[in-house]
């Protein structure tokens, strides 16, 4: 079995009109397909570049958002979310465009997390204030109108070297029996 990449990621929004405005006007992602669902809901697709799509479902009676449980509350201070939830969506961006994107997001009234540019590295903290040779990705985190955590990510080098995959996967502890 071999996949060719992400076709689309499907999320749920609270207001389709607001979501379309944000993704088309603020992020510049063209709306490429709209679907009326038989149950009265909607399913819309945006071109997020690189041959990938970002999709949203909308239902009038969808359950409310649950930040800190089903989604990230804020990054980097409150970045945990529940098992089976979506933590965030990262869009690839050229590093040269990162600073300009911050200005454009703020001009559109979008909350950008602090620190504004996060330099991810292999230090114990996982991030550095300064750009140095150990930084493998530079990121800007922000939320859409639905509270979905988004990221503009700029890889600073190709990943997959032995030192990039040096951690052993953690195993969950067995649940206590009642």
- Residue extents of the structural domains in the chain: 1-60, 74-162
Q: Answer yes or no: same fold for 1-60 and 74-162.
A: yes
**Does 3.20.20.70 match the CATH number of domain 74-162?**
no
CB 137 within 8 A of CB 156: yes
Q: pLDDT tens-digit profile of 17-49?
A: 999 999 999 999 999 999 998 888 898 999 999
Q: What are 11's strand-pairing partners?
A: 56
Structure-block tokens of residue 148: 């979905």
CATH of 1-60, one of 3.90.1150.10, 3.10.180.10, 3.40.1350.10, 3.40.640.10: 3.10.180.10
What pTM does this model have?
A: 0.82
- Tell me: pLDDT of 2 over 80: no
CB 137 within 8 A of CB 91: no
Q: What's the mean pLDDT when you consider all of the chain?
A: 86
- Tell me: pLDDT of 178 over 60: no
For the chain, give the number of residues: 178
Confidence of residue 52 (pLDDT cuts 50, 70, 90): very high
What is the separation, in whole angstroms, between the first and last Cα of the chain? 40
Region of poorest pLDDT, from 4-8, 38-42, 99-103: 4-8
CB 23 within 8 A of CB 31: yes
């Amino acid at each position: 079995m071999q996949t060719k990449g992400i076709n689309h990621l499907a999320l749920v929004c609270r207001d389709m009109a607001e979501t379309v405005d944000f993704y088309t006007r603020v992020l510049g992602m063209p709306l490429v397909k709209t679907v009326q669902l038989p149950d009265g809901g909607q399913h819309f697709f945006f071109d997020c570049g690189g041959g990938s799509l970002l999709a949203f479902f909308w239902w009038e009676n969808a359950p409310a958002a649950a930040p800190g449980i089903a989604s990230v509350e804020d990054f980097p201070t409150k970045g945990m979310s529940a098992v089976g939830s979506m933590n965030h969506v990262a869009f690839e961006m050229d590093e040269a465009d990162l600073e300009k994107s911050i200005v454009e997001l703020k001009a559109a009234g979008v909350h950008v997390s602090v620190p504004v540019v996060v330099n991810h590295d292999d230090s114990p903290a996982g991030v550095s204030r300064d750009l140095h040779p150990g930084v493998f990705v530079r990121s800007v985190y922000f939320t859409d109108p639905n509270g979905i955590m988004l990221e503009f990510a700029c890889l600073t080098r190709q990943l997959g070297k032995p030192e990039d995959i040096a951690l052993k996967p953690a195993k969950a502890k067995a649940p206590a029996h009642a």
